[in-house]
Chains A and B, each alone.
Chain A
Amino acid sequence: MTSLPTETTGKKLGLVIDLDTCVGCHACVVNCKEWNTGGYGAPLADLDAYGAEPVGSWLNRIHTFEVTPEDAPASIVHFPKSCLHCDDAPCVTVCPTGASYKRGEDGIVLVDENMCIGCGLCAWACPYGAREMDPVENVMKKCTLCVDRIYNDNLPKEDQIPACVRTCPAEARHFGDLGDPESDISKLVAERGGMDLMPEMGTKPVNKYLPPRPKTHSHVEPEAPKAKALDAKGFLGWLDKTLEAL
């Protein structure tokens, strides 16, 4: 089971994250925790939640980076990071028990928590830090792409998407089939130049990131708007002239 699937449908469900529109509000982080603490598998536990040093397992975290071009001032980029559901997922093949697996039918990478021995090797193998050990259950937790939402017919149609995508107020997160070049999400990737994270690691991530759109360079001094000759008519014109005359 820990070999990568040999028979696939060509379907590659995944996320596209728009670094141009993400405002870094952490709503996706919170909704992810909320859904997944009550959904698939063990709850996402926290330790010392109200104490001095709280820690806990999260499947999605937002980092904030400062990017400084050579010829322009720095800009801020909020950077949500979760499992990329890699085509060549090293976290799957290292697993000694078969708990970590990638589904042939839609490419989702999952952990069977009843088989997991909590050795942590899959978290080591992932260059992106997408897996975290649950501090209470001592099994590996990771993004399930909300497998318990996207196929769940008990939910209204609009909720049958991952919790992070559903909640994003900026619509910076998109969900779909990245294996189908005609899907909306694939077209979006093509149009915006979607990119892989650390392609040099050879993991072939399914999730793509859309780079921030090029900024108007503000180092070119904007021309000060020239004062327009006041040419008011009517009452305001009369008022202007009267006041001028005083």
Chain B
Amino acid sequence: MHPAISVIFFTVTSGAGFGFLTLIGLGVPLPESGVGAFFASLIAGGLAVIGLISSTFHLGRPERAWRAFSQWRSSWLSREGVCAVITLVLFALYALNWVFFDNRIVWLGLFVSIGSIATVFTTAMIYTQMKSVPVWNNILTPVCYLLFSLTCGTLLAGSFGYWEAAVVSLPFFALVSIVVAWGAKLMWWQSGETLSSRGSDTGTATGLGSIGKVKLLEKPHSGENYLTKEMVHQIGRKHADKLRMIALLIGAGLPIVVCIIMLIAGANGLLFAVAALAMIAGLFVERWLFFAEAKHAVSLYY
């Protein structure tokens, strides 16, 4: 699949933003009010909003984006839009009370957390539902999206330096969640379903497989088309192994080392911020591969 920058940026940043929103809603220790609360809200809400705005850049007709809220009964993309807007409105109310009245309303926070988790889940389901892309059509896809989102949120929350009030050691919690999240991703990479593992090949795609071995002799047109550009993208697969290593080193290795340093030498807001940025950078590579490596059934015709 074509790795569109707008969609990669959207899934990574809004994932991190909604992960942070989940933790804020759960009452993770953060500045009690005023400027600190404002900045925490700005970063969490800002990441979520920037991501959502960037997702509209890949629309052919962005001016009609509002129509996407209508089909929540059947469409995961529509559900995502609805969940995101409801969550952000609830969070706006929560943040107002927090910043101006020193009041983190517990019940409202819980709704923000539930809404944030639902938003990330619906994002993941847009991809998970695609039977035409077997590697996405996997229960571990939403698991990875949710774990990455919460891990980014934890690291971002730690950056504000209020870890001493936490019920569990925040560096330890962060370390565990980094390991678990990337563990799930490794399982996803291992268990990756393919077109052939689902029984699809050019033989079933053309129905000619029962006669003999089927091979494309001539494409419909000599040039590219929308389908080959959008769904028969091949560049990403060439360096996939190297890029996986890069994603793991930056997104997992570096934050793990930082967390271990903090476990030994004590927590530090700046170190948390370094770990958060590394994790997000690693996720950009991971997300690029998520698209570039995914093979769509239509590639069987080309």
Contact = CB atoms under 8 A, between A and B. Distances in A.
Interface of A: 1-3, 19, 29, 53-58, 61-70, 72, 74, 76-77, 79, 81, 90, 93-99, 115-121, 123-129, 132-133, 135, 137-139, 195-202, 209, 211-212
A61 B77 CA distance: 29
Nearest to A99: B67
Contacts of A138: 60-61
A93 B133 contact: no
Given A117-B60, A117-B67, A125 B130 contact: yes
Interface stretch (B13-21, B27-35, B205-213): B205-213
Nearest to B73: A3
A115 B200 contact: no
A117 B65 contact: yes
Contact of A116 (B61, B217, B223): B61
B237 interface: no
A65 B60 contact: no
| Chief secondary structure at chain A's binding surface | loop
Contacts of B132: 90, 124-127, 201
A78 B215 CA distance: 12
Contact of B204 (A62, A72, A116, A200): A200
Interface string B194-235: 000011101011111011111111111101111101110000
B65 A94 contact: no
Contacts of B60: 116-120, 133, 137-139
A97 B70 contact: yes
Given A97-B78, A212-B208, 14 more contacts: A53-B223, A54-B223, A55-B225, A63-B216, A69-B212, A77-B206, A90-B129, A99-B67, A116-B61, A123-B226, A123-B227, A124-B133, A137-B60, A196-B207
A213 B64 CA distance: 49
A212 B77 contact: no
A123 B227 CA distance: 8
B76 interface: yes
B214 A93 contact: no
28 contacts: A2-B73, A2-B75, A63-B218, A63-B301, A65-B214, A66-B217, A68-B212, A77-B206, A90-B131, A94-B76, A96-B69, A96-B81, A97-B68, A115-B64, A115-B67, A117-B68, A119-B68, A120-B58, A123-B227, A124-B132, A129-B227, A129-B298, A133-B230, A198-B204, A201-B131, A201-B132, A211-B210, A212-B208
A119 B226 contact: no
Given A129-B227, A198-B297, A118 B131 contact: no
Nearest to A115: B67
Contact of B77 (A90, A121, A137, A139): A121
A127 B131 CA distance: 8
A28 to B, nearest CB: 12
B71 interface: yes
Most interface-central of B129, B200, B301, B302 (chain A CB within 10 A): B301
B218 A123 contact: no
Contacts of A212: 208, 211
A212 B206 CA distance: 11
Contact of A97 (B67, B210, B214): B67
